[in-house]
Chain A
Amino acid sequence: MFLKKDGRDEYRHAGSLDAPDEEMALVLARESYLRRAEGDRLWLVCRDHLIVGTPEFISPNSDKPHRHNDGERIAHRRRRLREKEH
């Protein structure tokens, strides 16, 4: 269940629900997640239609620090060069 607020905000996952069919999913989603008009648009995606990536599929990428660029090494190098010039 995804909600979008008014304006340029993107759709965000807001929760999930059980419903016997698409029509009831819409009806029940409104009263379960939009009771106070928490968004002005709504997407419902049936669980069966989700393409799921498991933790095992993702985990090899958890050990690649070289892909984390926080700019610190470049900043350090530039600092060093500046100090040399002076």
Chain B
Amino acid sequence: MPIPWTPAIREFVLAFADDEHLMGQQHTEWIGVAPFLEEDLAFCSIGQDELGHAASLYAIVIGEGDPTGASGPSVDNRAIDSVAFDRNPGRWRSCNLVEMPTQDWAHALVRHWLYDSAEQLRWELISESKLASLAEAAVRAEREEWFHRRHADGLLDILMPDPTAGDVLRSALADLMPVAVGMFDPVIGEAAAIEAGVTAAPFDSRLPLWIDLVRDRFDIDPVLDDRAASIQQHRTVRSEHFENLLSRMCEVLDLDPAAIW
């Protein structure tokens, strides 16, 4: 029995797609300037994977939302581009963490870890989704995500015990943590998605588990507040950094809006 596609479920899937899109974009901005060549390649691969996840989630938004079924199983890339790039900021559902520019490599690495550890919990919640296309995307994504976590953990395993590096990373964590918690701010449409069996439970029900992971990883007690959630207003409000980010992302597209890519 197919799940009836509703605007609420669309919002729910769109929020995940937007997070993956912007996280991938932010990672790929380290191409050419990562601390060393091998890391440059690894980090841009990870960014590329996140962009791939975003594309598959946007394809679900388009494909499931097409009542004629004309989109079929493979959605046209141009249709994906149009959802991915051609929306006014108010229609995005990204969280603040993926919108903020990284200040340095320590911030990028800590955000990579924070995002991917939460992302794992997010995919798990939809791994048995009644929306079959979403459950399939979760299986595909996890094949790549374990590598992302291994990469982030591998670097942190080496860097955290070093007194200087450890201090820099903990300071980056202190900056990022209040914003990162906003990932768990319930997306509009989540309640409907749970009711329809699209997702198993509210994402913020996994927040305590994630906090435990952060505590174990960084060996500190994270201070929690709900500022990020209240600022985001269920992801309906964009951060101050969003417009710059979107304009950078669309820089080449905007050179010739009529061009076909």
Contact = CB atoms under 8 A, between A and B. Distances in A.
Interface of A: 17-21, 23-24, 27-28, 30-32, 35
A23 B41 contact: no
A21 B42 contact: no
B155 interface: yes
A80 to B, nearest CB: 61
Interface string B144-188: 000100110011011000000000000000000000000000000
Q: In the complex, which of the residues A17, A20, A28 has the most CB atoms of chain B within 10 Å of its own CB atom?
A: A28
Contact of B150 (A18, A19, A20, A27): A27
Contacts of B157: 21, 23
Contact of B154 (A17, A18, A27): A27
A28 B39 contact: yes
B45 interface: yes
A27 B45 contact: no
B158 A27 contact: no
Interface size range on B against A: 10 to 19
Interface in B126-158: 147, 150-151, 154-155, 157-158
B41 A35 contact: yes
Nearest to A33: B41
Contact of B155 (A24, A30, A31, A32): A24
Interface string B108-136: 00000000000000000000000000000
Contacts of B216: none
Contacts of A18: 36-38
B158 A32 contact: no
A31 B42 CA distance: 5
Given A23-B154, A27-B150, 4 more contacts: A24-B154, A27-B154, A28-B42, A31-B42
A17 B217 CA distance: 27
Contacts of B158: 20-21, 24
Contacts of A31: 38, 41-42, 45
B38 A19 contact: yes
Contacts of B39: 28
A58 to B, nearest CB: 31
A21 B161 CA distance: 14
A24 B38 CA distance: 10
Nearest to A28: B38
Contacts of A30: 42, 147
A27 B42 contact: yes
Nearest to B45: A31
Nearest to B158: A20
Given A23-B157, A27-B154, A17 B45 contact: no
